[in-house]
Structure 1
Amino acid sequence: MKNANTAAAFFSFGYAAAARQGELMNKKFVSLSMSALMAVSLLGGCAGNGESAKKEKPEMPVYTTSETFRVGNWGVPPHENTGYMEYANNPNYCNVEEWTKMRDCGFNLAIPTEGVSVKEICRDLEMADKVGMKVLVRDQTSAGFETIIKFAKEKGYTYDETREELEKRSEEIKAHIDEYKKYKSFQGVNAFDEPSMDYYEAIAACQDWFLKYYPEYEFYSNLLPVYATPKQLFGASDGKGYAYPDYVGEFVKTVNPESLSYDHYPILQDWDESAYIKEDFLYNLNVFAKQAKKKNTPVYIYLQTMGFFSNLPITTYEEFAWQCYTSLSFGVRGIMCFQYWTQLQAQQYNNVRGGIVDRDGTITPLYYKVQEVFDEIEAMQDVYLHYRWDGVRTYEGGRVINDMFTLVSDQLEKLEEIEAVECDEDIIVGQFKDDAGYAYMVTNASVPFEPKNANVKLTFGKEYDYAMVVKKGTRSLVELEDHVLSMTLGSGEGYFVVPVKQI
């Protein structure tokens, strides 16, 4: 309004001067002066309204979740005398020092691989209690589910027959579980690992029995990857026309699990000793992601850290981050490592080498790379776990066709809030949603062995002028340039992006 008042003073002065001179054009001058005054006043008023209607910078979104991103490991600090061959007389590593070291790497869930006695299992639970971790118990005694499932499969038992067997053994089974549940760290049971379809009915019967008596705990099974043999996947049904999606779908149909889990170890050594990634890694993720979306259940995945057979030990941040963030683009809600402790056997037998810690518990350089990635994920878990996976799109930015991308079928036709995507390296964009809108996990999917940055531009709809970007665990509110978000993602990195409207 400051300009309008100045104009009014000027025109009032002109009117008074004309009156003193007694000019005949006085009325005309007054008319023009008043018209100009009104015009300037109106312009001043419009400017004032525009300033008051100016949009303000939005607040950083805040999220809360009761869910924790699962970070687990296959294998815990070994008990004494549990190694193989020349490592058979190993000392006891099941102590607070080693469990603390494991927790500090970022793990919140332990999955012991040996459960030959209740006493041994309880020692792991005791250590987990002391360091604040959870445990999925693998009970391999006669009262353990792994033993019962194998027995029922060998006998050819139906679901009902397996339930009858469980009732016969009920007293012993409950005695074990009641002992485990005395510990705060008891999360549930690791019932069976990598079953063929032959085991599904027995797993379903054991799960239903367990949840009838212990509904507050978890009954967990882990499935095979796509590269398993047909016999391993389908068992007696091999040759009957089943494909890998049927292996997963039949598990969901028969068992009706509370979660889905599988392992896939994608980084291998080629004939010339170079590293390469299995082409079916993203395909496998997509199969589980679609099943989980349909059933509204979480997906967990085992990823590669230790070397074995022709699988290379992971040595860099990029190699581990690539596995993790591509998995997050498909909505996984937990990552487990195979494996934390290098197995107590000589390398010459199964080419076992290079775990997160060595056979004697010595921290390897990989420990800090894994810790870095897990710290990043933990820092963003409230945002990430708030949303549910909706679908995925892949974008090629390199000069070579990405064969992994071609195996990802049923991709989203379009991203809901993103109008265009530009990139100079291959990227994956996972779309997530809540009741209010959409968010995106953008991952640099170029091979991590020769690290390259990916320059990415996301063009959002005109209603978006800001985006929250979670980069390596740190979140920031970024103002878009003409609704475009520009980012540079390091090799293997993934950023979580939430478009934000101005207030």
Structure 2
Amino acid sequence: MRHERQPGGQDPTPARTGAGIDRRSLLGYAAAGAAVLAVPALVGGLGAGTARAAEANGVVPDLLRGGRYPIGFWWPPPPRETTAARYAQIADAGFTFVNGGNGVVDRDLNLRMLDAAGAHRLPAVVVDSRVGDIQNHPREQWPALVKAALDDYGGHPSFAGFNIRDEPHASLFPQIGAVNDLIRRQDPTKLGYVNLFPTYASSGALGTPTYEEHLERYVAEAHPRFLSFDHYPLLGPAPALRTDYFRNFALVRRQALRSGLSYWGFILACEHLDYRLPTDAELAWQVNVSLAYGCKGIQYFTYWTPDLPSVFRQALVTVDGQLTPLYHAARRINNDHLRPLGAQLLPLTSESVTHFGEREPLPDVEPFTGDDQVASVSGDAVVLGRFHDGSRGNRRWLLVTNRSFDAPATTTLTLRGAVREVFAFDTGQEAFTRVPLRGPRDGPVLTVRLAPGDARLYRLHSDDSGVAPTTAH
């Protein structure tokens, strides 16, 4: 996505001018066809009755079934590097699924990707023009086109679905809904994958006056099985940060909860244009903020560095296939932190997200004011993500994330007297251990120490087993 700096310190908005390039044109540049490019709108849908019935019967796409926390990326190895050895590196770095593109866009190359991914138990989402370019065919041919694509890949154990489109204009939502319905009817275990714009996209790019309307219309018209969005916060030299980063999470989270959908997010992992190369701590911080806001899947932009040196400089793997220090940082974060922590959070429901210690109010960000388990917070700024499991009313899971990616945090939580026990999750042991509490029984104290960008998960036990989960907000 192309982002220009604007005068007066304003946040940039997407543009496609001069040397600029966005995610959609990036796929086109790599001969992905128009599978994820903007196309003229098609109105009307094929109906969602059967698809909704399939959902009611409990049939969900394989990638959304739970188990392993979804960790993916944009921009896989190119065709010449689509080998079992390269996909071994992907698996070794802790990724749990792959997405097509970077020239891997036709039947033969997709099958090669599925073989390479399958050798390492990696599900794969493919880019296929029969699905992504379906608008180029008469509407009555659409069911046969989707069926032909499903027949080509459906027997492969690694095939997980189709990448339908990236960052679509709202006028494309009915077309996406028609394709999603066809996939659901013909094989509801496969995912129709779509990724949405960030909040800093212009209304012209969104096709709606507001981002909120964009999300609402997408859910109503595109019939998604999940939500995915990108937002790259590390714009300019450190410690610069986009001011609407948390707002984007808040709005997508709100729409996901209202719609009963899970949602995934992208993190910046590629130096390009004015976006800096993340430090290890900045990479971990993006992961932990995503988790605190309830993301059920995290994706890296990008894995392989796109071969466009005027725009892209370095990602996890260089253009010529060298593993960079950021690859090794991602490997540590994914395997040692995100995989075990994500497995704990995956089955839970995000109940609230609050911020403590913000210097000034942020739009759509809720400041911490106390709840039924944590009375007050003091010390350094943190993001508090609270979760429940829907059954045990006396338990809450609390992810405490350092608000800073360049300084450590020491934060003290004063708990309500009803909290009798606290357990901390050890990602190394993959187990909870009891934490001794300080202070009086009617107000015990928990002190949390976090490295830059780090987070810690706690489980709080109350003596009131009759407390029901509150309405998510």
TM-score range, shorter chain: 0.7 to 0.9
Are positions 1:487 and 2:442 aligned together?
no
Q: Note the C-alpha offset of 1:408.
A: 2.9
> Which digits, 9 at most, give the CA deviation of each residue in 1:374-399, with x for residues without a partner?
121211233212310012111117xx
Q: Note the C-alpha offset of 1:466.
A: 2.4
Q: Helix, strand or coil: the match of 2:147? A: helix
1:319 to 275, 278, 282: 282
2-structure distance, mates of 1:286, 1:381:
19
2-structure distance, mates of 1:359, 1:103:
19
Task: Quote the residue 1:500 is aligned against.
Answer: 461
Task: Quote the residue 1:52 is aligned against.
Answer: none
User: Does the CA contact (< 8 Å) of 1:137 and 1:190 recur in 2?
Assistant: yes
1:359 to 319, 325, 329: 319
2-structure distance, mates of 1:246, 1:410:
21
1-structure distance, mates of 2:213, 2:66:
33
Q: Note the C-alpha offset of 1:173.
A: 3.0
Name the amino acid aligned to 1:343. Answer: P
User: Does the CA contact (< 8 Å) of 1:224 and 1:263 recur in 2?
Assistant: yes
Q: Note the C-alpha offset of 1:256.
A: 2.9
1-structure distance, mates of 2:238, 2:251:
28
Task: Quote the residue 2:176 is aligned against.
Answer: 203
Structure with bigger helix share is 1
User: Does the CA contact (< 8 Å) of 2:293 and 2:385 recur in 1?
Assistant: yes
Task: Quote the residue 2:78 is aligned against.
Answer: 78
Task: Quote the residue 1:266 is aligned against.
Answer: 233
Q: How does 1:412-491 map to 2 (within 5 A)?
A: 414-423=370-379, 425-434=380-389, 435-436=391-392, 437-446=395-404, 448=405, 451-470=406-425, 472-474=427-429, 475-482=432-439, 483-491=444-452
Name the amino acid aligned to 1:443. Answer: T
Q: Helix, strand or coil: the match of 2:398? A: strand
Are positions 1:247 and 2:214 aligned together?
yes
Q: Note the C-alpha offset of 1:203.
A: 0.6
Name the amino acid aligned to 1:479. Answer: P
Name the amino acid aligned to 1:147. Answer: D
Task: For structure 2, list consecutive stretches of 5 or more residues without a partner in the other structure.
Answer: 1-64, 466-473
Q: What TM-score do the two structures reach when normalised by structure 1? A: 0.74
Report how many aligned residue pairs link the two structures: 389
1:284 to 238, 242, 248: 248
Are positions 1:335 and 2:298 aligned together?
yes
User: Does the CA contact (< 8 Å) of 1:138 and 1:191 recur in 2?
Assistant: yes
Q: Note the C-alpha offset of 1:278.
A: 0.7
1-structure distance, mates of 2:133, 2:367:
41
Q: Note the C-alpha offset of 1:288.
A: 0.6
Task: Quote the residue 1:34 is aligned against.
Answer: none
2-structure distance, mates of 1:388, 1:274:
33
Q: Helix, strand or coil: the match of 1:370? A: helix
2-structure distance, mates of 1:166, 1:137:
22
Name the amino acid aligned to 2:283. Answer: F
RMSD: 2.0
Are positions 1:370 and 2:327 aligned together?
no
User: Does the CA contact (< 8 Å) of 2:267 and 2:298 recur in 1?
Assistant: yes
2-structure distance, mates of 1:465, 1:78:
54
Are positions 1:219 and 2:192 aligned together?
yes
Q: Note the C-alpha offset of 1:66.
A: 4.3
User: Does the CA contact (< 8 Å) of 2:117 and 2:158 recur in 1?
Assistant: yes
User: Does the CA contact (< 8 Å) of 2:384 and 2:399 recur in 1?
Assistant: yes
Are positions 1:386 and 2:351 aligned together?
no
User: Does the CA contact (< 8 Å) of 1:390 and 1:433 recur in 2?
Assistant: yes
User: Does the CA contact (< 8 Å) of 1:108 and 1:133 recur in 2?
Assistant: yes
User: Does the CA contact (< 8 Å) of 1:166 and 1:206 recur in 2?
Assistant: no
2-structure distance, mates of 1:209, 1:101:
34
Q: What TM-score do the two structures reach when normalised by structure 2? A: 0.78
Question: Kindly tell me: are residues 274 and 443 of structure 1, through their superposed partners in 2, closer, same or farther at Cα, counting changes over 3 Å?
Answer: closer
User: Does the CA contact (< 8 Å) of 1:293 and 1:390 recur in 2?
Assistant: no
Task: Quote the residue 1:101 is aligned against.
Answer: 89
Task: Quote the residue 1:146 is aligned against.
Answer: 132
**Rg: which structure is higher?**
1
Q: Note the C-alpha offset of 1:501.
A: 5.1
Question: Kindly tell me: are residues 471 and 268 of structure 1, through their superposed partners in 2, closer, same or farther at Cα, counting changes over 3 Å?
Answer: farther
2-structure distance, mates of 1:326, 1:121:
33
Are positions 1:230 and 2:186 aligned together?
no
Q: Note the C-alpha offset of 1:176.
A: 2.0
Report sequence identity in percent. 24
Q: Helix, strand or coil: the match of 2:313? A: coil
Are positions 1:307 and 2:307 aligned together?
no
Q: Note the C-alpha offset of 1:413.
A: 5.4
Q: Note the C-alpha offset of 1:122.
A: 0.7
2-structure distance, mates of 1:386, 1:207:
25
> Which digits, 9 at most, give the CA deviation of each residue in 1:170-200, with x for residues without a partner?
3343222111112111111111110011101
Task: Quote the residue 1:11 is aligned against.
Answer: none
> Which digits, 9 at most, give the CA deviation of each residue in 1:70-127, with x for residues without a partner?
1001111111xxxxxxxxxxxx211111110111111111011134421111110110
User: Does the CA contact (< 8 Å) of 1:377 and 1:473 recur in 2?
Assistant: no
Are positions 1:194 and 2:180 aligned together?
no
> Which digits, 9 at most, give the CA deviation of each residue in 1:204-235, with x for residues without a partner?
1111111111112111111001111211101x
User: Does the CA contact (< 8 Å) of 1:458 and 1:486 recur in 2?
Assistant: yes
1-structure distance, mates of 2:73, 2:343:
22
2-structure distance, mates of 1:367, 1:180:
30
User: Does the CA contact (< 8 Å) of 1:391 and 1:412 recur in 2?
Assistant: no
1-structure distance, mates of 2:402, 2:180:
39
1-structure distance, mates of 2:456, 2:238:
28
2-structure distance, mates of 1:488, 1:433:
23
1-structure distance, mates of 2:116, 2:272:
28
> Which digits, 9 at most, give the CA deviation of each residue in 1:117-153, with x for residues without a partner?
211111101101111101011112xx2x21114x48x
Name the amino acid aligned to 1:207. Answer: N
2-structure distance, mates of 1:66, 1:250:
27
Question: Kindly tell me: are residues 172 and 244 of structure 1, through their superposed partners in 2, closer, same or farther at Cα, counting changes over 3 Å?
Answer: closer
